Amino acid sequence: MADHHVIIDNLVKTYPGAQKPSVDHVSFSLPRGEMLALLGPSGCGKTTILRMIAGLIAPSSGAIRLDGRDVSAIPVYKRNMGMVFQAYALFPHMTVAENISFGLEMRKVGRAEREERVRKALDLVKLAGFGERKVSQLSGGQQQRAAIARSLVIEPELLLLDEPLSNLDAKLRDEMRDEIRDIQARTGVTAIFVTHDQDEALSMADRLAVMSAGKLEQIGTPLDIFDRPQTHFVASFIGAGTFFEGRVAGPGLAEVDGLPLLHFAGEAAIGSSIKLMVRPHRLLLAGEPGQPNSFSGVVEHIVYRGQILTLSVRCGSRVLQADLPTHAGVLPKKGDNVTLTVAPDDVTLIGREAA
Amino acid sequence: MSAAVTAPASGAPAASRGILLILLLPGLVALIITFLLPLLWLLRASFASSAVGALSGGDWTLEAYTTVLFDPFYWRVAWNTLVVGFNVAIFAVILSYPIALFLVRTQSRFRGVLTALAVAPLLTSSVVRTYGWMVILGDRGVINSTLQSLSLTDGVIRLTNNSFGATVALIEILMPYAILAMLSGFGRLNVQLEEAAAMLGASRLKVFTRIVLPLSLPGVLTAALLVFVLAISAFVTPRLMGGGRVFVLGTEVFNEATVTLNWPLAAALSVMLLVLFSSIILLYQRALRALEV
Amino acid sequence: MTIRMQNGISRMFLHAGIIAAGLAAFAGAAEAQDASIKGTVNIVGFSGVFADNYQKFVIAAFKEKYPGIEVTYQQSKNSAETLALLTLQQADPKIDVALIDVSVAIKANKSGIFTKLDPAKVTSLAEMPDWARLDGDKAVAFSQDNLAILYNTDSVKQPPTSWNDLTDPKYKGKIAAKLGDTRGVILLPILDKLKGADYKDSVDPAIDMLKEIAPNVSTWEPAPDCYAVVQSGEVDLSICWNGRAQYLHDTQGGKIAVAAPKEGSIGQTNTIGLVENSKNAEAAQLFINYALGTEAQATFAEKSFYGPVNTKVTLTDAVAARIYGSKEAQAAQMSLDWNFVADKYSAWIQRINREVIALN
């Protein structure tokens, strides 16, 4: 890990007069070519971290290393990083081509080479021929592509993106998500993007870093984050789930109020209090009663979502949320008695930290 | 049948146009009475002969215009006016630019107060402010007294009762207008654009020359135009600060109107001033279009 | 000693020694009150101290004589404004009597603003000198305010005695002179006479002398006026009107004083006129008759330090000194052919502006 391309080491940012730091001792690293998502609710510090990496904000303490070099002292305009802003920040008084070649001009690249590289960048983002257009003549999606081209043409060490999809409508979002992923993969540039949208993070990133209130909650692949959240925050922020609190009654067994004993995967001291979570899509309609982790109850509420049927089932004093695939045979209706079951492996231990 | 189909289509827009016209009417009437009619009177007066009473239905003559156009004295006056106008516009804009830039970009919580302070001088009459400058620049004024008490100069430095004093006073008096014009004209400026430029490798100087300056140019042009137009029509400040030595169109119109009572000449000089205005405004519009993004 | 009898004013000075015929004789005389005459007179005239004095000493006295006549006095900033007002009203005048500068009156008469006065009704006309009865009695001069050199009593210990003193290098940058108006027009004949020339021939000698004075002038446009800059000590001397300066001397602690040059001076002349088609011509002529009469003329002269025009007025030595200066100056007092001067008015101002001021 020490030889990773980008290393964020104990980064702290406390604004003057603030009680708590906005970024509280965050550390993570990226290997070359990886795309990392910084995910979290607004105010969690993710944008502050991005801007510190870019050099737009000075850290209170900590280091930012690129290939081992601490770049914290290097001024913004010498860091050789590319940044795509949320509002694109294209220069309105220049054409698309002039925007893209701006970074090359600053690096004193010769005219012929500039034109060639700009042409290639336009091709890369599928904006060939748009060079002479004025920025105001571009649509939202085209502006974003131009912004991406502008930041990539300089062959930056690191690509930073601030909420890249949030300004686009749903259809464009899908399209651009795939494109950005594609461009990043093709150029192989190491990238970090910031988002508050978990779908965006899960679908675009190689790894996610989930943040809350300045602290890094968990970092891992989308699968890790989604299926094996390590803290309550991560578990509740990503995806939906049903949460259980109880006490460990035996190895892999938990006593939860109002329900039969829960079998779960993971180590926990007997007698200690515990938090567990089950993802909705892990709950299945039981074959026969009597299987471990069986819950019987009445269907209170049904939401049909095309591929999925979301059930709210009342078992005793609690409501369980289940997502059933709609292709599976007979589907329960409101008021039906059903039995749900979940494999012990899919009952996730989410730490002993309080919520 | 076709009439019934087409009528609604044309009826609606006509009705709303009618309402628009009615709403505009009071403003139009006011404008016509206070602006257009006096302007027409002025034009008529400029073609009258200088005998009193000729204004009320006398003959039409080019007497005033031949004087204005062929007397070298008035060419000098017009030239002086333009020179004063340009000097004042250039310096007022240069001095106001950093102030306006700061006000637009500052995040300080005193931003509103500071802006109000920058513009507050407009609350004072320009005559009062001119007198203030006479106190500062006068022979026994603040500057001369200070220089003398510090033994930096022997005699008195003539800072007022000349073109210099008039120009300096006009610059300061018109700066709030420049600041206001620039504040509204700096709308395209955006911190993110500067950050983007910096990330692309632009040093602070480059950010200023390649991003901030070009984007602030429309505001600068508007400010320059406003100040220029106000400066070339000034007569109180050139008269008070100029010691009678500053001959600009404003002072000449005033003299002809109130001292020598040659109203047609005063009118013709006013028309000349209007022609200057219009040419400059045309130039300005051209420049603005060229900058258009 | 030959005393030039060019005009009625010089003749009047002959009588100056006769104290018996002075003001006192008139002060106690009670003219019969005539309450039977009713009417209105609307006057427009100068503002400021002039208005105060005129209303207090001329109009009030007239109203006492004719309690049945209502008199209104409208103040105007200057003669140009009055002319504008009268021109606008020409078809249907609301003003009956106007007090304006002589050159403006001559201009006004070219467009028939005023009408002839009836000598039978305005008997005072007989007492006025010929030069004062302009354009066939369409405007009559009633006061003259001499052009003088004003000085600051603190900084000028040896007041100037001659117009030539203005060229003295010790006053470099210390003179304020507003000459782009009537003051300049009046100064030219004065300086011409100094150089032995006649203003009717040419004013070149005067212009040349102005060029000599020019380096001493700090401002040609004293602000707020030519009196304040002397009072405040900003300049040592200014070329301005005597009447106001005398008033300020009395009321403002004597900081400003008048040095009436020995070569004599000329007075800025105001005229009174009856507006053509006035609706109150009878009452108006009564007023004009009073205003031109010896009583009003003498009183106003004494209070305002403006020189009277009526030939029958005699002034005490003291008053005469404050209006005209020393006996030598009094004897050298000039008056102008105003019709000639009115013709040359713009041209002379233009010469002053372009040949003297613009180059300095």
Nearest CA in chain B to C220: B244
- What is the DSSP pairing of strand A207-212 with strand A35-39? parallel
Question: Between residues 231 and 290 of chain C, which touch chain B (CB distance below 8 Å)?
Answer: 233-234
Q: Which of C80, C90, C360 sits opposite B261 (nearest CB)?
A: C80
Q: What is the pLDDT of residue B12?
A: 58
Any chain B CB within 8 A of the CB of C358?
yes
C-alpha–C-alpha distance, residues B240 and B172, integer Å: 15
Percent of chain A past pLDDT 90, that is, above it, reads: 51
Q: CATH: 3.40.190.10, 3.40.1710.10, 3.40.50.1820, 3.40.50.720. Which one for C8-13+20-144+268-324?
A: 3.40.190.10
User: Residue ranges of the domains in chain C?
Assistant: 8-13+20-144+268-324, 146-266+326-357
Residue C90 contacts B, CB cutoff 8 Å: yes
Q: What is the token pair recorded at C291?
A: 């205003």
In a domain, B51, yes or no: no
For residue A290, give the 3-state DSSP assignment: coil
- Considering its fold, how many domains does chain B have in total? 1
Counting the structural domains of chain A, the total is: 2
* Mean residue pLDDT across chain A: 88
How far, in whole angstroms, is CA B163 from its chain's centroid?
18
CATH class of this structure's domain C146-266+326-357: alpha beta
Query: What gap in Å lies between CA B47 and CA B62, rounded to an integer?
Result: 6
- Computed over every residue of chain B, the mean pLDDT equals 87
In this structure, are A27 and A176 located in the same domain? yes
pTM of this structure: 0.77
Range of A89's domain?
Answer: 6-229
**pLDDT for residue B277:** 86
In this structure, the answer to whether residues A210 and A267 fall within a common structural domain is no
Q: Is the pLDDT of residue A352 over 70?
A: no
| CA separation for the pair C199, C191 (Å, rounded) | 9
Cβ–Cβ under 8 Å, residues A122 and A129: yes
Contact B199 A150 (CB under 8 A): no
Cα separation, A268 vs B99, whole angstroms? 65
> β-strands C139-152, C133-134: how paired?
antiparallel
Cβ–Cβ below 8 Å for B200 and A85: no
Examine the domain organization and report whether A14 and A163 are in the same domain. Answer: yes
Interface ipTM > 0.95: no
Which residue, C106, C104, C110, C40, is CA-closest to C77? C104
What CATH number is attached to the domain comprising A157? 3.40.50.300
Give domain status of residue A234, yes or no.
no
Q: C102, C271 in Cβ contact below 8 A? A: yes
Residue B4 lies in a domain: no
User: Nearest 10 degrees: CA dihedral of B23, B27, B28, B29?
Assistant: 110
Same structural domain for residues A66 and A173?
Answer: yes
* Residue B219 CB contacts under 8 Å (≥ 6 apart), including other chains: B100, B181, B182, B183, B184, B185, B186, B187
Q: Which among A261, A282, A263 is positioned nearest to A342, based on CA atoms?
A: A282
Output the pLDDT for position B58: 67
Rg (CA), chain B: 25
Residues from A in contact with B at Cβ < 8 Å: 54-56, 76-83, 85, 87, 89-93, 102-103, 106-107, 134-136, 150-151, 154
**The predicted structure's pLDDT at residue B52:** 52
The Cα of C349 is separated from the nearest Cα of chain B by a number of Å equal to 8
Residues whose CB falls within 8 Å of the CB of residue A24, separated by 6 or more in sequence, listed in order: A12, A45, A213, A214, A215
Task: Report whether A170 contacts A93 (CB < 8 A).
Answer: no
Q: What are the C-alpha distances in Å from A211 to residues A22, A39, A310, A316, B130?
A: 11, 6, 28, 35, 62
Out of A175-179, B260-264, C306-310, C317-321, least confident range: B260-264
- Residue C51's CB: how many other CB atoms inside 10 A? 17
User: Per DSSP, what are the bridge partners of residue A23?
Assistant: A13
Q: Is B293 close to A93, i.e. CB distance below 8 A?
A: yes
The amino acid at residue A189 is V
Task: Please give the residue of chain A at the shortest CA–CA distance from B291.
Answer: A93
Residues A216, A246 within the same domain: no
Put simply, the answer to whether B243 touches C221 (Cβ < 8 Å) is yes
Tell me, yes or no, whether A186 and A246 share the same domain. no
Nearest to B293 among A85, A103, A136 (CB): A136
Question: If we measure between CA atoms, which residue out of C25, C239, C216 comes closest to residue C151?
Answer: C239
Helices and strands of chain A, counted as H and E runs: 8, 20
Reading chain C (360 residues) residue by residue, the pLDDT tens digits are 344 444 555 555 555 545 444 444 444 444 456 777 888 999 999 998 899 999 999 999 999 999 999 999 999 988 888 998 999 899 999 999 999 999 889 989 988 999 999 999 999 999 999 989 998 999 999 999 999 999 999 999 999 999 999 999 999 989 999 998 889 999 999 999 999 999 999 999 999 999 999 999 999 989 888 999 999 888 999 999 999 899 999 998 889 999 999 999 999 999 999 999 999 999 999 999 999 999 999 999 999 899 999 999 989 999 999 999 888 888 898 888 888 998 898 899 989 999 999 876
* 3-state SS assignment for residue A229: coil
Question: Is residue B1 in a domain?
Answer: no
Give the C-alpha separation, C112 to A327, whole Å: 110
Cα–Cα distance between A122 and A145 in angstroms, integer?
9
Residue A1 forms part of a structural domain: no
Q: Are C238 and C106 in contact (CB under 8 A)?
A: no
Which of A13, A12, A10, A46 is CA-nearest to residue A28?
Answer: A10
- Per-residue pLDDT at C148: 94
| Mean pLDDT within A46-53 | 94
> Minimal Cα distance from B215: which residue of A?
A93
Phi-psi map region of B262: left, alpha, beta (phi>0 left; psi -120 to 50 alpha): beta
3-state secondary structure of C269: strand
Q: Is A156 in the same domain as A110?
A: yes
Do C269 and C328 form a contact (C-beta atoms < 8 A)? no
> Would the CB atoms of A85 and B196 count as touching at under 8 Å?
yes
The pLDDT of residue B55 is 53
Chain B hits for C349, CB-CB cut-off 8 Å, are: 259-260
The two tokens of residue B93 are 């804009």
Classify residue A307: in a domain, yes or no: yes
Closest CA to A86 of A20, A15, A28, A143: A143
Encoded amino acid at A228, one letter? R
> Which domain CATH number covers B164?
1.10.3720.10
> Is the Cα torsion angle C163, C167, C173, C177 positive or negative in sign?
positive
- Cα separation of A22 and A42, whole Å? 11
Chain A residue numbers touching B293 (CB-CB < 8 A): 92-93, 134-136
DSSP C279: T
Picking from A171, A195, A229, the residue at the C-terminal end of a domain is A229
At residue B2, the pLDDT reads: 44
B82 assigned to some structural domain: yes
> What is the rounded CA–CA span in Å between residue A250 and residue B42?
104
**Span of A226-235, A308-317, B95-104, C26-35 with lowest mean pLDDT:** C26-35
**Residue A199 token pair:** 């779908």
Give yes or no for residue B132 having a pLDDT over 60.
yes
- Running DSSP on this structure, what letter comes out for residue A13? E
Looking up residue A307, the CATH number of its domain turns out to be 2.40.50.140
CA distance C355 to C360: 9
The helix-helix angle for C79-89 and B249-258 (nearest 10°) equals: 60
List the end-to-end C-alpha distance of chain A, in Å, as a whole number.
31
Around Cβ A123, how many Cβ atoms within 10 Å?
Answer: 12
Number of residues written out for chain C:
360
Tokens of B132: 């203030």
A218 and A123 in a common domain: yes
Between chains, do A89 and B200 touch, taking CB under 8 Å as contact?
no
- Residues A209, A316, single domain; the answer is no
Say which amino acid occupies B163.
S
Gap between the Cα atoms of B27 and B33, Å rounded: 10
In the block, residue with structure tokens 């427009």: C44
Query: C226 and B243 in contact (C-beta within 8 Å)?
Result: no
**Chain C, nearest residue to B243 by Cα:** C219
Q: Do strands A308-315 and A294-304 pair parallel, antiparallel, or not at all (unpaired)?
A: antiparallel
The closest alpha carbon to A149, from A185, A178, A120, belongs to A120
Last residue of a domain, one of A203, A229, A255: A229
Closest alpha carbon to C99 in C145, C163, C166, C154: C145
- Complete edge-to-edge strand list for the sheet that includes strand A190-195: A81-84, A158-162, A190-195, A35-39, A207-212, A215-220
Contact B259 C181 (CB under 8 A): yes
pLDDT at B75 over 50: yes
The predicted pLDDT at position B9 comes to 47
How high is the pLDDT of residue C143? 92
Put simply, the answer to whether A93 touches B200 (Cβ < 8 Å) is no
Q: Would you say A103 and A154 are in contact if contact means Cβ atoms under 8 Å apart?
A: yes
Residues A297 and A182 in one domain: no
CA C310 to the chain's CA centroid: 13
Per DSSP, C17 falls in state G
Residue A335 is assigned to a structural domain of this protein: yes
CB-based contact C218 B243, cutoff 8 Å: yes
The neighbouring-strand residues paired with C148 are C240
Does a structural domain hold residue A111? Answer: yes
pLDDT of res. A166: 86
Query: Of A199, A229, A259, which marks where a domain is finished?
Result: A229
Would you say residue B9 lies in a domain?
no
State how far the Cα of B175 lies from the Cα of B230, in Å rounded to an integer: 11
Q: Are residues A253 and A156 in the same domain?
A: no
Residue A214 has pLDDT above 70, yes or no: yes
B68, B127, B161, best to mutate vs chain C, most C CBs in 10 Å:
B161
Write out chain B residues lying below 8 Å of C345, CB-based. 260
Pairwise CA distance, residues C15 & C21, whole Å: 8
Q: Helix, strand, coil proportions of chain C in percent (round to 5)? A: 45, 20, 35
pLDDT digits (tens, 9 = 90+) for A260-301: 788 887 777 888 888 888 888 888 887 666 677 888 889 999
CA–CA separation, C134 and B107 (whole Å): 73
Which residue range forms the structural domain that includes residue B155? Answer: 72-291
Do A281 and A334 lie in a common domain?
A: yes
